């Protein structure tokens, strides 16, 4: 189960790869591409200094071309696989251009900022016969994989409820480094940016199909951004289980934790650590394994909150292209995570519950929700 995403060095050797967006998350993508043997042919950013930094960091030679216009890069280089790592508000526009030019895509989270754009990406991927992966790399954490295996084996019995807690810090300097952060047009707030990975995991673990959501959001400590820095939500799933989300970027003085709890009739599990990469509780009535052994084995300590999931995610996408199957985390999965965050925003704005499916909604709908937006 945990070994199925082996490095794809041979499989990726003749697959041309390009990166769009050379910011904060891009080193993880470049490292994953290299680890899987992809032929990195080009990188793109509107800021040449960002590209220069990555050229130096990864010791790229002249064979890696640099572009400030992604359309020019796609049309000239014709890559097989493209990673879209720009500001969130550009994901859909860039992703759709790549798809329409026959490129398989890994699109950073969130896959888009509107239901309409997410639907357009899904439809285009079908029309142009390409693979699209939403970059929710925490699904590949060893800790998350063993929890998912327990769910698939019905070890929990009836699922009661799950909770996702994201208690992080994002200070003034973080937002100063990129003016798009915290805006409704290009980002959203804590739930859309920092919390969406764990929100994705909670929905995935609890059965996926949602009946309704009630949410509350606020901006408690970041009056210099437009969107929320704290959100709380209660979810009712169609299978009768419930979910609770609590996420913030207000924690002092640094990131505290990201945790996921799953409670069932016959099992209790907690994954914690920096990015749900540590099994902290493992209790099942079937006694199939030793809880202490599981906790010792599934205990990763990555250098940052991005974890180790990008390399296996890339391995899976390469295999999906070769085998003509859907990626493990596909465009629809990206839409589901987006849909849940947008539903929380809508509930908070309207002061009532929001029933699923969510038809039309976008982050820009909430411009003006707080005083300076």
Domain 139-302+336-366 has CATH 3.30.360.10: yes
Domain 16-138+310-330 has CATH 3.40.50.11820: no
Q: Residue 372 pLDDT > 60, yes or no?
A: no
Q: Residue 103 pLDDT > 90, yes or no?
A: yes
Residues of the chain with CATH 3.30.360.10: 139-302+336-366
Q: Residue 296 pLDDT > 90, yes or no?
A: yes
How far, in Å, CA of 356 to CA of 373, rounded?
27
Cα angle: 19, vertex 21, 23; to 5 degrees: 120
Cβ atoms of residues 47 and 21 within 8 Å? no
Residues of the chain with CATH 3.40.50.720: 16-138+310-330
Q: How large is the C-alpha radius of gyration of the chain?
A: 20
Buried b (16+ CB within 10 A) or exposed e, 17-47: bbbbbbbebbbbbbebbbbbbbbbbbbbbee
**What pTM did the predictor assign?**
0.95
Q: Residue 8 pLDDT > 80, yes or no?
A: no
Cβ atoms of residues 279 and 294 within 8 Å? yes
In the structure, what pLDDT confidence band is assigned to residue 2 with cuts at 50, 70 and 90? very low
Q: Residue 68 pLDDT > 60, yes or no?
A: yes
> What is the structure's pLDDT at 264?
98
The number of beta carbons lying within 10 Å of the beta carbon of residue 116 is: 14
Summarize the confidence of residues 96-124 as an average pLDDT.
98
In the structure, what pLDDT confidence band is assigned to residue 291 with cuts at 50, 70 and 90? very high
How far, in Å, CA of 120 to CA of 130, rounded?
13
> What is the structure's pLDDT at 12?
62
Summarize the confidence of residues 319-334 as an average pLDDT.
98
Cβ atoms of residues 337 and 118 within 8 Å? no
Question: How confident is the prediction for the chain on average, in pLDDT?
Answer: 95
Name every residue whose Cβ is closer than 8 Å to that of residue 11 and which is 6 or more positions away in sequence. Answer: 36, 37, 318, 319, 322
């Amino acid at each position: 189960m945990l070994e199925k995403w082996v490095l794809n060095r041979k499989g990726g050797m003749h697959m041309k790869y390009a990166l769009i967006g050379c910011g904060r998350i891009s080193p993880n993508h470049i490292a994953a591409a290299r680890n899987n043997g992809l032929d990195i042919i080009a990188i793109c950013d509107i800021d040449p200094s960002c590209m220069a930094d990555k050229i130096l960091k990864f010791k790229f030679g002249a064979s890696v071309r640099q572009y400030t216009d992604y359309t020019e890069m796609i049309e000239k280089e014709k890559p097989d696989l493209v990673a879209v790592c720009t500001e969130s508000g550009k994901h859909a526009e860039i992703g759709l251009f790549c798809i329409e030019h026959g490129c398989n895509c890994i699109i950073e989270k969130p896959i888009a900022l509107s239901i309409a754009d997410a639907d357009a990406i899904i439809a285009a991927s079908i029309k142009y016969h390409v693979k699209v992966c939403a970059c929710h790399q925490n699904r590949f954490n060893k800790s998350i994989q063993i929890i998912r295996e327990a769910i698939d084996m019905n070890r929990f019995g009836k699922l009661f409820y799950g909770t996702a807690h994201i208690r992080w810090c994002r200070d003034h300097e973080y937002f100063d480094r990129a003016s798009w952060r915290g805006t409704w047009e290009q980002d959203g707030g804590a739930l859309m940016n920092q919390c969406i990975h764990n929100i994705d995991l909670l929905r995935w673990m609890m059965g996926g199909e949602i009946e309704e959501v009630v949410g509350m959001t606020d901006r408690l400590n970041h009056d210099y951004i437009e969107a929320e820095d704290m959100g709380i939500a209660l979810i009712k799933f169609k299978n009768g289980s419930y979910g609770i989300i609590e996420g913030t970027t207000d924690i002092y003085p640094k990131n505290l934790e990201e945790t996921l709890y799953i409670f069932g009739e016959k099992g209790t599990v907690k994954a914690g650590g920096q990015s749900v990469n540590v099994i902290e509780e493992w209790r099942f009535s079937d006694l199939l394994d030793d809880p202490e052994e599981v906790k010792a084995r599934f205990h990763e300590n990555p250098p940052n909150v991005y974890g180790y999931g990008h390399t296996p995610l890339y391995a899976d996408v390469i295999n999906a292209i070769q085998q003509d199957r859907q990626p493990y985390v596909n465009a629809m999965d990206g839409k589901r995570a987006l849909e849940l965050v947008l539903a929380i925003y809508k509930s908070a704005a309207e002061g009532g519950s929001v029933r699923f499916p969510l038809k039309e909604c976008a982050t820009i709908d909430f411009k003006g929700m707080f005083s300076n937006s």
